[in-house]
Amino acid sequence: MATPDMTPDADEGRDSSARQALPEEPSDVQRLAYSGHNNGHGAASYQFFVVDDAARARAWVGRIADRVTPAGYIEHSDTRLQIAFTSCGLRALGLPEEVLATFPLEFQDGMAKRAHVLGDDPRQCSSWEYGGNRVVHVALFVYAKSTEALAREVRALIREARAGGLQRRASQSTFSFPDKTQIREHFGFRDGLVQPTIGRKGADRAQPEDGTPGNDPGAVPNGEVVLGQRNGYGFRTIGPSAPRTLDKKGLLHDFITPNEKDLGANGTYVVLRKLEQDVAGFWNAIRARAEDLGKTPHWLAAKMVGRWMNGSSVVDYPDEEGPPPTRDTPGISFAADRHGYRCPFGAHIRRANPRDDLGDDPEASLAVVARHRLHRRGRVYGKPPADLFVDDGRRRGLIFITVGTSIRRQFEFVQNLWLTSTCFNGMHGEDDPVAGPRAPHYFGDGRGAHAAQTSPFSIPAYPLRRTVPALPRFVTMRGGDYFFMPGRRALRFLAALP
């Protein structure tokens, strides 16, 4: 099934003839654009603040600008720091409305107002732990080599923020895995196996701490994650701008139109969502339905996810778990599984990244998918359960983080048209079997907004497909928002606002 693509629009360039990308400046880009800091910095914490005193907060931003970890960072340290702002936060700092209006509409709205696009329940936004009715202005992303170093750094940052005219609104801890290769999400599946390679000149394959290496023929263009660089359409990715008169210190690059400066250059947008996982509910629901199919729970779970728990693909190993994938394991291709007999059409990984499965031309499909890839930088929170089938009463889940130059074309496109769509790839009345919201407005069955929702899951087979009935919701949205992560020049510009 072909999926409509999206061409460059207002959030990528008001002058689509501007193809000349800015020079790469890794020292100006915040490192999260390229790396999730998993190489050696396994401890992480996210701190959310509101601005109480704009003048003091701007001065604090100026001090933070000198401390954020850039993409060109080489020297090893115990901690790393990144900073990002919501649209409300930029307004609270004193950014004029005429400048805020140059940001894309979805960023201006914030995540809660996009519930109808994302499959979220708008009635639940008031109970989010952060975001929604609990407005946040600033997010600090803190990473460290140890939990002890992380705790020290977070305490110091909170003290400095309070002295700088901010108040902490919320704090989000994460679970630290001993080694990157041991990372699993809480349903028990290996995670982070597939990340797009970013094509950038400054990457060094010999230096793993330098983020994602470039020089790969299939690499995603740099402009898919960094504003000002060339994107998958061949255009310079355009972000927000500010009047030249506002940049009194001459900190920003020139914009593509006269008398404007490029506020977005070397920045990126960050989507953050706290997703609570019902682990015992997931596995017990699967066990009951697997018995009806005469299969094991692990077989059905693998079909729903698209991978076995060790990460091996059901495309390559449809009936039993294969060897764990390595760096040399070939990428998954759905072209050889056109009927979905190995990996069902509705499986989570087939929805999140259809690869070569959109339409009849695999190469054209890959090109389309590359323009909608999600560049994930998240972590899990909460301790993994001792027994997947037993509810221990503890909360756990995923802090989903993705970065990119277009929230709408990347995250919202995938979330709306692929993950939560009930008619993805020719199906009807099914959303994502693992992460689907089971939202009433997606099913339109007339049972009312307060009715508990379920979704079936189809497993193609010959001569007749098998249907897993009434899967409940396993993932619940608990908070989040859209953020702008400026380049370091832009941080200093914000600090210098009158």
Confidence of residue 396 (pLDDT cuts 50, 70, 90): very high
pLDDT for the residue numbered 81: 98
Query: Which band of pLDDT confidence, cut at 50, 70 and 90, is reported for residue 70?
Result: very high
Reported residue count of the chain is: 498
Hey, what's the torsion of the CAs at 87, 91, 94, 100, to 10 degrees? Answer: 60
pLDDT confidence band for 179 (50 / 70 / 90) = confident
Best CA proximity match to 486, nearest among 471, 475, 476, 496: 496
- Count of CA atoms in the C-beta half-sphere (13 A) of 258: 0
pLDDT greater than 70 at residue 449: no
Q: Does residue 428 carry a pLDDT above 90?
A: no
Residues 235 and 369 sit within 8 Å (Cβ to Cβ): no
Extents of the domains making up the chain: 31-273+481-495, 275-479
Q: For position 4, what pLDDT does the model report?
A: 53
Query: How far is the C-alpha of 130 from the C-alpha of 140, rounded, in Å?
Result: 13
- Contact between 374 and 220 (Cβ < 8 Å): no
pLDDT score of 446 more than 60: no
Nearest residue to 185 (alpha-carbon basis) of 373, 458, 435: 435
> Phi/psi of residue 294, each to 5°?
75, 30
User: Which amino acid, one-letter code, is at 30?
Assistant: Q
Q: What residues form DSSP beta bridges with 476? A: 276
In this predicted structure, what is the pLDDT of residue 328?
72
H or E stretch including 173? strand 166-173
pLDDT value at 435 more than 50: yes
State pLDDT tens for residues 161-170.
Answer: 999 999 999 9
Q: With contact defined as beta carbons under 8 Å apart, do 404 and 268 qualify?
A: yes
**pLDDT value at position 20?**
86
Work out the pLDDT band at 8, boundaries 50, 70, 90. Answer: low
Encoded tokens for 466 = 């098998």
Is the preceding omega at residue 463 within 30 degrees of 0, hence cis? yes
The 10s digit of each residue's pLDDT in 43-56 is 999 999 999 999 99
**pLDDT tens digits for range 210-267:** 445 445 667 889 999 999 999 999 999 999 999 999 999 999 999 999 999 999 999 9
Report the distance separating Cα 210 and Cα 476, nearest Å.
34
Q: Are 138 and 89 in contact (CB under 8 A)?
A: yes
| Percent of the chain topping pLDDT 90 | 76
Looking at residue 278, its amino acid is D
Classify residue 226 by burial, with Cβ atoms within 10 Å: 0-12, 13-18, 19+: buried
Residue 324 per-residue DSSP state:
P
Residue 6 pLDDT class (50, 70, 90 cuts) = low
Residues 81 and 67: beta-carbon distance below 8 Å = yes
How far from each other are the two terminal CA atoms of the chain, in whole angstroms? 53
Segment 117-131, tens digit of pLDDT: 999 998 899 999 999
Mean pLDDT across the chain, nearest whole number? Answer: 90
**Cα–Cα distance for residue pair 228/253, rounded to 1 Å:** 10
How is residue 55 written in tokens? 């003048």
pLDDT at 239: 97
Token pair recorded at residue 470? 């009434």
pLDDT digits (tens, 9 = 90+) for 451-482: 448 999 999 999 999 999 999 999 999 999 99
